[in-house]
A and B are shown apart, each in its own frame.
Chain A
Amino acid sequence: MSTNATTASVRSTISLHKLGVFCGLAAAVWLGSAEAPTKLVTVGFSPFIISMGMVMGAFVARWTVPTLLKGTGFLFTDLREKPHLIVWALLGGMLWAVANTLTIFAVRNVGLAIAFPLWNTNSLVGLFWGCLLFKELRGSQAKDWAKVIGGAGAIVFGAAVLAIATAQQNSGAPGRATIGIIAALGAGVLLGTMYIPYRKAYISGMNPLSFVTIFTFGELGTVTLLTAINTGGISPLLAELHRARPMLFWPFLGGFCWVIGDLFQQYAAKYIGIGRGIPLSNTNQLWGLAWGALVFGEFTSVTTSGRLLILVGSTIMILGAISISMAEPAPSEKEHWDRAMHRECNRYGLNSDSVAAVVAGNDPLADDKQQRRWWELVIMLVAAGIFVWLALGTRAQHIYVSMPWMIVLILGTMIPLGLVGTLLWRRTRFS
């Protein structure tokens, strides 16, 4: 007890709401930047193969980052204490994989401009489930409901405006519109529902780093199965992957960046809930836009009205994010969050004091010195080896790249990683 009290006193005292908001915004930066490496993929490859490359990169990242930060001893202890959550982690990964495949169909049929805002409604679906199943926003005042729902709606609306403004450059083949729209809406529902496992894990006291190590098996397994079905079997899939070898480094790198963004999103879901955290991280479109416009010069032919629309869409999105950031849950809402947590503790026989401490960012195990295992070094070496092997002989599409802007945006991506990562460590020890 005295040890915990001492360690708690040396930790940062930043509020969990502020920490969660910073995590949501950092997630947006990294999720948006994850699109950049895939732009360097040479043309002529199936989107399923590119998606599979990203998921393989994500698989590597989802094991190396948690191992580096907490060690496998901590991760296995956490999983052993809440083994029932393995089911939800796998389920979350499967939902993501099916949703991601649906987005590919949507983009093919109606283009990114229509598809993106439709599946971006996932934040509204998440908000609905958060409120219904986890008592988020319950007990809060009308102004907080307005800030969160208005903010989430503004972010979706801003996404729609941005998508329309950039449609000329990104649209896919027209036709079969109904199928595309249904696929995009379906992806939105699946992605929004994927946040149920996230939130369930975190109100049960699971560490986000443990959750993602299991999530990735559901993700990779389902994506492999779906890609094999779409390419005609395992042998054609392996042949396609072999053919894609010279470009696989880029989606791998994108997958790695995506995982860092996703980890911040997981911490946002943990500390401010899915109703607030997911809309904030869904502002990633702004960062994807910044990479496209500033680094790759994609929007040079956009008309003045198009530029105005981009400005309006971005502003609406930023205002939505500000609105959610200012909606700190009142104590009356926190009581409902506690009830949701106690439901899990009673149902699955968890120690409610310990879970409450973890939910509050004060994991009693977080300060314990974890013994490092030899296989952790092997995991790191294998991960580094895969990236070096893929980087050798990699070819990139010869497209315009603005180096000054690339340096600015890389810095703009690394700074939130350093700052928010440090805040997370100081306040929660990554718990």
Chain B
Amino acid sequence: MKRSNFVEILTDVHLWVPVVVLILGIALLMTLR
């Protein structure tokens, strides 16, 4: 993968929205256990 693409991925809102939701989901799951 090109280096420029790597930067684009890391700064893409389409990445951070699901990542934040995933982290919150895992946190919720761990709390419920």
Question: Residues of A at under 8 Å CB distance from B?
Answer: 83-84, 87-88, 91-92, 94-95, 98-99, 101-102, 105, 129, 133, 179, 182-183, 186, 189-190, 193-194, 196-197, 200, 226, 229-230, 347-349
B15 engages A87 (CB within 8 Å): yes
Interface contact B26-A98, CB-CB below 8 Å: yes
CB of A98 within 8 A of CB of B22, answer: yes
A195: nearest chain-B partner, CB-CB:
B18
How far, in angstroms, from A352 to B5 measured CA to CA in the complex?
16
**Which residues 1-33 in B have Cβ within 8 Å of A in the complex?**
1-2, 4-5, 8-9, 12-15, 17-19, 21-22, 24-26, 28-29, 32-33
**Are B29 and A179 interface neighbours, CB within 8 A?**
no
Chain B residues whose C-beta falls within 8 Å of the C-beta of A87 in the assembled complex: 9, 15
Chain B facing A: main interface SS: helix
Q: Is the interface of A mostly helix, strand, loop or mixed?
A: helix
Give bound CA distance, A183 to B29, whole Å. Answer: 8
Query: Hey, which chain A residues are within 8 Å of B24, CB to CB?
Result: 186
Cross-chain contact B12 with A98 (CB below 8 angstroms): no
Report the bound CA distance from A119 to B5 in whole Å.
34
Binding site for A on B (CB under 8 A): 1-2, 4-5, 8-9, 12-15, 17-19, 21-22, 24-26, 28-29, 32-33
Known: A98-B22, A349-B2. Is A193-B17 also a contact (CB below 8 A)? yes
CA distance A9 to B5 in the complex (A): 36
Closest residue of chain B to A98 (Cβ to Cβ) is B25
Q: A83-B1, A189-B25 are in contact. Are A348 and B8 (CB under 8 A)?
A: yes
Most buried by A among B4, B15, B29: B29
Known: A193-B21, A196-B18. A84 touches B5 (CB 8 A): yes
Complex Cα gap A27–B15 (Å): 26
Kindly provide the distance from the CB of A206 to the nearest chain B CB, expressed in whole angstroms: 13
